[in-house]
Chain A
Amino acid sequence: MFRLMRNVHLILGLVFVVYALLFALSSLFIIYRPWFPESRVESERTVRVAAEQAATPRALALELMRNHDLKGDLREIEQTDQGMEFVVMRPGTRAEVAYSPSSGEAKIKTRRQGFLEMLVQLHVNHGFWHDFLPSNAWSLLTVLGSIGLFLLGATGIYLWFCHHEERVIGGVILAVGLIYSLTTLALTRATG
């Protein structure tokens, strides 16, 4: 049984190692964000789109995705007297599109985040409602990683308990952690 649990613990650890690093590094970046300089790149370009391919914001967005290297979820649609505006976004990249039917031009302002901010956006990415399929895949990894975290915890507890010489000190550490965390959680719940 010990051997089996040890192998399960190792498999889970290795399967989720990349994802665990993503979450650990992005969490630390969130905590210490003021210490890091902003690292994003902004660019702007204009593309011509025929009016018939821009009948609706969705049609225009699809045309830009097919032929002008745009990808992500379509959001924040606004139609004005001058034309239409919307955002196409995916983790780490946000493109603001403004289209004028009179000129047939779509201005695309793109903001591309640096490595660490990209990690944060993958960290907070959630749900399975995205048009952009990789975002759904990241959400699936979040769920699987969370289940993996429970299993890693359960197998870890078993492996610790099998180390007889570590039971006393480990038990004290576990108890201290549980008492401290449960007390602060309960008091915060009660205070609000």
Chain B
Amino acid sequence: MYEWVKKIHMYAGLLSFMAFGVWGVAGIQSAFLPPPGGYEPPDIAQEKEFAFEGPGDLDDKELAQRIFRASEVRMGGGVYNIHRNEKGNLAFFLFTWNGRRDFTYLEEQKLVRVEFRDNNMASYLSSMHTAFSRRHPAELPARLWGYYNEFSTWAFLFMTISGVYMWIATRPRLPWARICLAGAAVVGVTLWVVTR
């Protein structure tokens, strides 16, 4: 039993190695995230325009959805902040794994302008750490990453439990190991209680 658990523990870790790295980056990056309302989108990396003529019987929300579907932008989770800008043009934005995309519908010119605000690498990995198989209407590569991320979550749970099992099965009386576990448990439970 012990040998098999050890083998699976090792293989699960090797297979999920990259996911753990991505989670580590996301966790460290989270320390530097701004408070609510303090988010500053990245600078515009590029702009694209495409021709579009919206049907006359749609409201702004439906039109925004139609524009998004007509665009080449993919993997958007939802359309946000649908409004008319100071020039009266329909404007909204959405988020992809790669960053925010700002849309403006120039109705008179029958054009849609898309501004790409690309995430830096740490923010990109942070957004990818949230992926799972059924999240968003994702394209194939993101969906495949989502399956990997989801598998790695199960592997992580297994490794946590099997790690404790392997300690108990081999060296349960190590005093410093007991102190580490007890200390961690005390800190965790105390924080839980004061937060709850």
**Chain A interface (Cβ < 8 Å from any Cβ of B):** 10-11, 13-25, 27-28, 30-31, 75, 90-93, 118, 122, 126-129, 134-135, 137-139, 141-143, 145-147, 149-150, 152-153, 156-157, 159-160, 163, 166, 169-170, 173-174, 176-178, 180-185, 187-189, 191-192
Chain A residues, Cβ within 8 Å of B98: 188-189, 191-192
A173 touches B141 (CB 8 A): no
Check: B184 CB closer than 8 A to any chain A CB. yes
Q: Check B31 against A142 for contact (C-beta < 8 Å).
A: yes
Report which of A15, A31, A145, A163 forms a contact with B180, defined as CB distance below 8 A: A15
Interface: B50 (CB within 8 A): no
Chain B residues whose CB sits within 8 angstroms of the CB of A93 once the complex forms: 196
Interface centre among B22, B133, B171, B196 (most CB of A within 10 A): B196
- B positions within 8 Å CB-CB of A: 7, 10-11, 13-28, 30-36, 73-75, 96-99, 118, 124-125, 128, 132-134, 139, 141-142, 144-145, 148, 150, 153-154, 156-157, 160, 163-164, 167, 171, 174, 176-177, 180-181, 183-185, 187-188, 191, 194-196
Give the chain B neighbours of A135 by CB distance below 8 A.
Answer: 195
Q: What residue of chain B has the Cβ atom nearest to residue A122's Cβ?
A: B195
Known: A19-B188, A126-B30, A184-B142. 5 other contacts (CB 8 A): A127-B33, A129-B34, A177-B148, A188-B141, A192-B99
CB-CB under 8 A for A182 and B18, given A16-B184, A126-B31 = yes
- Are B141 and A14 neighbours in the complex by a CB distance under 8 Å? no
B10 touches A160 (CB 8 A): yes
Residue of A90, A142, A147, A181 with highest tally of chain B CB at under 10 A:
A181
> B residues within 8 A CB of A17?
160, 163-164, 181, 184
Q: How far is the CA of A185 from the CA of B21 in the complex (A)?
A: 12
Question: Which residues of chain B have C-beta atoms less than 8 A from A21's C-beta?
Answer: 157, 160
Bound Cα distance from A150 to B24, whole angstroms: 6
Q: A11-B177, A23-B156, A177-B14 are in contact. Are A92 and B27 (CB under 8 A)?
A: no
Cβ contact within 8 Å between A15 and B183: yes
- Give min CB distance, B162 to chain A, whole Å: 10
B187 proximity list for chain A (CB < 8 A):
18, 141
List B contacts of A146 (CB < 8 A). Answer: 23-28
| CB nearest neighbor in B for A93 | B196
- Whether A173 pairs with B14 at a CB distance below 8 angstroms is yes
| Chain B nearest Cβ from A93, distance in angstroms | 8
Q: Which residue of B lies closest to A139 (CB)?
A: B31
Please tell me which one of the listed residues B18, B28, B164 contacts residue A177 in the complex, with CB atoms under 8 A apart.
B18
CA of A54 to CA of B74, assembled, Å? 49
Q: Which residue of A lies closest to B19 (CB)?
A: A181
Which residues of chain A have C-beta atoms less than 8 A from B15's C-beta? 173-174, 176-177
A13 to B162, CA, bound (A): 11
Closest to B153 in A: A27
Q: What are 11 A-B contacts with C-beta separation under 8 Å?
A: A14-B180, A15-B184, A93-B196, A127-B32, A142-B27, A149-B27, A173-B14, A174-B15, A177-B14, A188-B145, A189-B97
Contact A90 B74 (CB under 8 A): no
* Docked CA distance A78–B143 (Å): 41
